[in-house]
Amino acid sequence: MIHQFSSVSSNGSRALSRRRMIKLGLASATAMALAPALLQAAPGARRRVVVWSEGTANVDEGSKEVYPHDINHAVADGLKPLTGWEIITATLSDPAQGLDADRLNGTDVLIWWGHKRHGDISDDLVNRIDQRVREGGMGFIGLHSTHFAKPFKKLMGTACSWREYVTDGTSVKISIKDPAHPICKGVKDFSLPKIERYGEQFKVPTPDSVPLEGIYTKPNGTTEPCRMGLCWKVGKGRVFYFTPGHETYNDFFLPEVRQILCNAVQWAAPSK
């Protein structure tokens, strides 16, 4: 079940709410306006995943057509098959940047997508996320351009840069490197017709495992390998980084990507 964080301070949520209000009529709209930001957890929900994105993909030309409700909602939709999980969307313009102490302390896995607004994340939030992972065992999943997000860099402790970033029509074949890894469960090799090519080396600590690898094919026909899914243990927590997910491509609607992320949430969750 998805519990949408319906803060009206988010541009995306506000636009969505307006549309819904027109559709639902005044009575429902009034009820919606009075609804608490966070609904009650579903009966039997044992765990919480928060899907956070910065609120730019639903605004910018080229991506708003693909992600009209921002990337967090697309990712959250893909997590619906998970049972026993409360799924929450959050964004930068929400109160406490979407992760106040109560919410973060009750979060088992945090999924993050950021691109342009890394610098706006408060150091306090970065420190709280880092502490939740290292000491509390919260899982952290970083998507694509999140490699430069402050929480991810703090967890890695390295530059987290790639050698290059190219959007030139490169495609990629993603291969299941470790079929026994929980993140690969039910996923077969698949291709993305376009990907923003992030070139190795990726300046992160040596991962504990690399369940997903890829081979880029550039427009001139040459190929280049690249890691697509990397796993680390950081303190008590587990961290997964997924290379695809550029905002102008529909990766987060694809069944293979959704299966990988469902698997990753379960893998990254702390054992209870």
Residues engaged in binding Zn ion (CB under 5 A) = 145, 196, 246
CB-count burial class (<10 Å; 0-12, 13-18, 19+) for 27: exposed
Closest approach of Cβ 94 to Zn ion, in Å? 23
The CA-CA-CA angle for residues 203, 75, 230, to 5°, reads 25
Query: Taking the complex as a whole, how short is the minimal distance between the CB of residue 252 and Zn ion, in angstroms?
Result: 12
Measured CA to CA, the distance from residue 37 to residue 263 in angstroms comes to 28
DSSP 233: E
Report d(CA 63, CA 60) in Å as an integer.
6
Q: Return the residue nearest Zn ion (CB atom).
A: 246
Pick between residue 246 and residue 258 the one whose CB is nearest to Zn ion. Answer: 246
User: Whose Cβ is closer to Zn ion: residue 30's or residue 167's?
Assistant: 167
Q: Distance between CA 183 and CA 217 in Å, rounded?
A: 24
Distance, in Å, from the CA atom of 255 to the CA atom of 248, rounded to the nearest integer, reads 17
Calpha distance 265→63 (Å, rounded):
25
Q: 80 vs 163, which CB is nearer to Zn ion?
A: 163
The residues that bridge with 237 in the sheet, in sequence order, are 234
Shorter beta-carbon distance to Zn ion: residue 198 or 267:
198
Smallest gap from residue 260 Cβ to Zn ion (A): 18
Nearer to Zn ion, 89 or 145 (CB): 145
- Burial class, 19, CB count within 10 angstroms (exposed 0-12 / middle 13-18 / buried 19+): exposed
Please, are residues 88 and 3 in contact by the beta-carbon 8 Å criterion?
A: yes
- Minimal distance in Å, beta carbon 155 to Zn ion? 20
- Nearest approach, Cβ of 11 to Zn ion (angstroms)? 20
Of 227 and 246, CB closest to Zn ion = 246
Contact 227, 213 (CB under 8 A): yes
Q: How far is the CB of 12 from Zn ion (least distance, A)?
A: 19
